[in-house]
Structure 1
Amino acid sequence: MKVLQFTVPVAIDKSIILQKDVLPYFYPYLHRHQEVQLTWVQQGEGTLVADNNMHAFRPNDIFWLGANQPHIFKSDPSYFLPRNRKKVMAQTLFFNSDGALSALFNLPEMKPLKNFVLQQQSGFKVPTPQTTEISACMLRIINTSGPEQLMHFVELLRLLSGYPDIAPLAAVNKKVTVSDHDGIRIGNIYNYIMHHYEQPITLEDAAGQVHMTPHAFCRFFKKHTRRTFVSFLNEVRINEACKKLTDGDYDNIATVAYTTGFNSITNFNRVFKSVTGKSPSQYLNNYFQHVDQG
């Protein structure tokens, strides 16, 4: 894996690029592109890595990714198993406000929406109560063309810009500059952790994946991710634990702890609270309260 500067195919007669994916798993490379991306996950689950932050995704989640924001929709490991019959499905909209749409965004009437786009460089997840409204608007864009499609696109931006308190996907707005060479290393580390998080992983194991000494690896990882390797590994494990808890496929919290790489329930509870701000039981209660209210 590397941070690829991805080129989105652009149709000659289109300023808004639409893409429908029906695949065994999502595009497996950490990448970025000049276009803003709005992805509606219709089928599939896994972890979205945006910059250096992780977010679980499930069917009907919608994510905005800023221009040139490194990201990867990492499908759950089960999607890569032999004889896997699972599929992912997504609808994605790409646009470049500095490209073919620049004349539109430079109109005085579009200033609020242009400012909104510029302010969302760190991306965001569409709030759950608004996913039905936004997915319906995306379908109107997909199913129309010409001026009508452009009108629906402007309406989409208007709706998104009106939602209060949108939380960014990445905690910081300042982008970390990553060369292709370092991007390869970071991508390999992410890939290794996401496929082996349930197993014991030592600092030496991770450093060996990129052929570095543990000391050099620690400095490299902290420089490019602004966190320690252990804190990143814990976040991956807790992110997976949150998905397992809310999916309801496990009998108890202890089972979830041991299947996400923790060797004691005490340590799991401590790390879980440090990452989420809640105990596992509080997290579950809060999650299902929101589900019931929805």
Structure 2
Amino acid sequence: MKPQLLKINSTLAQCFSYRRDREPQQHNNWHYHEELELLYFQEGSGTQFIGDSISSFNAGDLVLVGSNLSHYWLFDQQEHAPDFQYISDVHVVHFKENFLGDYFLQLPENKPLVALFSAAKKGLQIMGPTKGEVVARLQKMASATGIMRITLLLESLALLASSPDYKLLSSLNSGLPQPSVNDVRMADIIDFITHHYRQQIKLAQLSERAGMTENSFCRYFKKHTGKTVVQFLTELRIGHACKLLVENELSIKQIYFETGFQNSVSFYKNFKQQMHMSPLAYQKSVLAKLKRTTLK
């Protein structure tokens, strides 16, 4: 899908922007922008799309999205919330690579920063001790102003640039094609899939929605997403299955029905193909890691 180019509002009074989003609608469209984006999810969970990566996200996650890398967060509805509402509380920082001037990045001391910005073009999931240190600084930004706010961002970037506590999210670098008149149509298709993937979605439904023949739609979808409809749907379903496995509240059978698979054979085959382990092995591995983290 060709994402929307988003223009970040900025003023002459500040060299980067910080905000705190409590409305999930701020993040539920497929887009990209020149600015890098540092996000801390204080509350909320769901499915994140970064480049060609589809995975679950949860409260406590910290992500750095590089310049012009497409991204999108689909928040889950929360059963314990009033009227089954969506919940989100996200600290968001937008900044350009040269937010302190072009010469700043040319300084020899800032080579690790240049490398960080380059790595972020595939999206970075921040983990370990580094996450806690950066989150503490993001939380202080809410009340900081002027030089203190700049200092907090620089400290955060310095921590990230010197840390191995991250994993790459997308297999593709940013550098996406510019939007075209087809964006609205493709955005509608992706929105439909992401809200109905738990049900059976037929190719005829999607092609009719796009106003195309099935063959034309398949070529169109592959051209814009780099994936077939089946691949995209499967990755989305497996991403949601991973989240449910970690929550450990449903049986495997309940999970594959909840995520849109019709039988266990299909679920196990696709899960192992995407995650390189069985659903049960994945669940045990992640829960063991969470337990070790809790005990520290």
Asked whether the two chains share a fold, i.e. TM above 0.5, the reply is yes
Note closer, same or farther for the CA distance 1:128–1:182 as it changes in structure 2 (3 Å cut).
farther
2:292 paired residue number: 293
Q: Is residue 240–residue 260 contact of structure 1 (8 Å, CA) maintained in 2?
A: yes
2:225 paired residue number: 225
Q: 1: CA distance between counterparts of 2:138 and 2:230?
A: 39
Amino acid paired to 2:202: T
Q: 2: CA distance between counterparts of 1:9 and 1:165?
A: 31
Q: Does 1:38 align with 2:51?
A: no
Q: 2: CA distance between counterparts of 1:222 and 1:86?
A: 31
Structure 1 position 98, deviation (Å): 3.1
| TM-score (normalised: structure 1) | 0.90
Note closer, same or farther for the CA distance 1:5–1:283 as it changes in structure 2 (3 Å cut).
same
Structure 1 position 237, deviation (Å): 0.7
1:111 paired residue number: 111
1:32-181 paired onto structure 2 within 5 Å: 32-76=32-76, 83-99=83-99, 101-164=101-164, 166-173=166-173, 175-181=175-181
- 1:9-44 deviation per Cα after TM superposition (whole angstroms, max 9, x unaligned): 213221121011112554322121111000101111
Structure 1 position 82, deviation (Å): 10
Q: Is residue 25–residue 88 contact of structure 1 (8 Å, CA) maintained in 2?
A: no
- 1:102-135 deviation per Cα after TM superposition (whole angstroms, max 9, x unaligned): 3433333323312321332121111255321220
Q: Is residue 197–residue 259 contact of structure 2 (8 Å, CA) maintained in 1?
A: yes
Q: 2: CA distance between counterparts of 1:99 and 1:108?
A: 17
2:203 paired residue number: 203
Structure 1 position 174, deviation (Å): 5.6
Amino acid paired to 1:169: L
- 1:66-95 deviation per Cα after TM superposition (whole angstroms, max 9, x unaligned): 11212111112569x994344311111111
Amino acid paired to 1:278: M
Identity of aligned residues (%): 27
2:265 paired residue number: 266
Q: Is residue 16–residue 99 contact of structure 2 (8 Å, CA) maintained in 1?
A: no
Note closer, same or farther for the CA distance 1:181–1:77 as it changes in structure 2 (3 Å cut).
farther
Structure 1 portions without partners, runs of 5+:
none
- More displaced 10-residue stretch of structure 1: 281-290 or 110-119: 110-119
Matched residues, number: 292
> What secondary structure, in the 3-state scheme, does the structure 2 residue paired with 1:275 have?
helix
Structure 1 position 245, deviation (Å): 1.5
> What secondary structure, in the 3-state scheme, does the structure 1 residue paired with 2:271 have?
helix
Q: Is residue 36–residue 64 contact of structure 1 (8 Å, CA) maintained in 2?
A: yes
1:254 paired residue number: 253
Higher relative contact order (CA 8 A, sep 6+): 2
Amino acid paired to 2:151: M
Q: Is residue 48–residue 55 contact of structure 1 (8 Å, CA) maintained in 2?
A: yes
Q: Is residue 39–residue 64 contact of structure 1 (8 Å, CA) maintained in 2?
A: yes
Q: Is residue 3–residue 180 contact of structure 1 (8 Å, CA) maintained in 2?
A: no
How well do the aligned residues superpose, as a CA RMSD in angstroms?
A: 2.4
- More displaced 10-residue stretch of structure 1: 230-239 or 161-170: 161-170
Amino acid paired to 1:148: M
Q: 1: CA distance between counterparts of 2:24 and 2:171?
A: 31
